Amino acid sequence: MLSAISDAVSVIKKSKSMIALTGAGISVESGIPDFRSAGGLWDKYDPAIYASIHSFRNMPERVWEMIFELIDITERAKPNSAHLALANLEEMGLLKAVITQNIDNLHQEAGSKNVIEYHGNAKHLVCLTCGAQYSPLDFDLEHKEIPHCEACGKVLKPSVVFFGEMIPPDALYNSQRYAEEADVVLVVGTSAVVYPAASIPGVVKSHGGIVIEFNLERTELTGSITDIFIQGKAGQTLPQVVNLLKE
């Protein structure tokens, strides 16, 4: 692993337009379970049912059982050293953008400025009828009171992309633009199976860019398009890379 880390450092030093693609794994060390974490939220609530727009429209009260827990987990989570390392790389002028599949706002809380969110953000609530926006903190969610729009009375939904909803067009457009120009992509804590985000590393690779992957385990990308695989907890490996870059 040490040689993979020093290889990554050499590549990053020479890069001019590096981006990062992050997934649920980067937030596991902040206490937010990924889809694989045993005993996590997604063991209790099948995302195919509870994170579907069809379910939300037909039985919002049932879906809110999951949303109360999701918002509670994300409100309590704090950025970890992997989020901070990416914010550091941006501050050092080495990272142009973070493209994230996460909905937890932790990149922004760590200090990253240019964050492209593929799946929205759980720290905003929206009315699907009139478009009014609210913060979860505007409501008494602790006592499990389902929030309703003050303007039209409809049940509010977190501003996250549920299965069956469209990825925000500006996120698609901007991430594609960054990927087409990137010479390096850091792929952190994603199983890289949820499209279209999973196509970003391939776009970078297709014009000669380098794919550096940080994960606990091998993924679909490892052994196919990944150039450097850094195995381990991102909260440990990413800061090691940043520290070496600072030397």
Residues belonging to the chain: 247
Q: Which of 8, 12, 23, 226 binds ligand NAD (CB under 6 A)?
A: 23
Q: Which of 9, 11, 17, 35 binds ligand NAD (CB under 6 A)?
A: 35
Q: Which of 24, 67, 155, 156 binds ligand NAD (CB under 6 A)?
A: 24
CA distance 231 to 159: 33
Residue identified by tokens 């827990």 is 69
Stretches 17-25, 59-67, 172-180, 222-230: which one binds ligand NAD (CB under 6 A)?
Answer: 17-25
Cβ 245 vs Cβ 10: under 8 Å: no
Q: Which of 54, 107, 119, 124 is catalytic?
A: 119
- Least distance from C-beta 7 to ligand NAD, angstroms? 18
Which amino acid is it at 117? Answer: E
Q: Considering only residues 123 through 182, tell me which ones interact with ligand NAD, judged by CB under 6 A.
A: none
Residue identified by tokens 């980067």 is 26
Torsion angle in degrees (nearest 10) through CA of 220, 17, 171, 235: 60
CA distance 93 to 138: 37
Stretches 52-60, 150-158, 209-217, 222-230: which one binds ligand NAD (CB under 6 A)?
Answer: 209-217
Residue identified by tokens 């937890």 is 104
- Least distance from C-beta 42 to ligand NAD, angstroms? 7
Q: Considering only residues 216 through 245, tell me which ones interact with ligand NAD, judged by CB under 6 A.
A: 216-217, 219, 233-235
- Least distance from C-beta 195 to ligand NAD, angstroms? 10
Cβ 162 vs Cβ 53: under 8 Å: yes
- Which residue number is nearest to ligand NAD in terms of Cβ? 25
Q: Which of 55, 190, 226, 240 binds ligand NAD (CB under 6 A)?
A: 190
Stretches 19-27, 91-99, 135-143, 179-187: which one binds ligand NAD (CB under 6 A)?
Answer: 19-27
Check if 83 is active-site: no
Q: Which of 28, 95, 203, 241 binds ligand NAD (CB under 6 A)?
A: 28
Cβ 202 vs Cβ 188: under 8 Å: no
**Closest by CA position to 75, among listed 110, 104, 107:** 104
Q: Which of 83, 96, 119, 123 binds ligand NAD (CB under 6 A)?
A: 119
In the DSSP assignment, the letter for residue 198 is G
Strand partners, 218: none
Q: Which of 56, 178, 214, 229 binds ligand NAD (CB under 6 A)?
A: 214
Strand, coil or helix: 89: helix
For 17, 29, 149, the CA distances from 122, given in Å and listed in that order, are 29, 18, 16
Longest dimension (CA), the chain: 59
Q: Which residues bind ligand NAD (CB under 6 A)?
A: 23-25, 27-29, 32, 34-36, 101-104, 119, 189-191, 194, 214-217, 219, 233-235
- Residues taking part in catalysis: 119
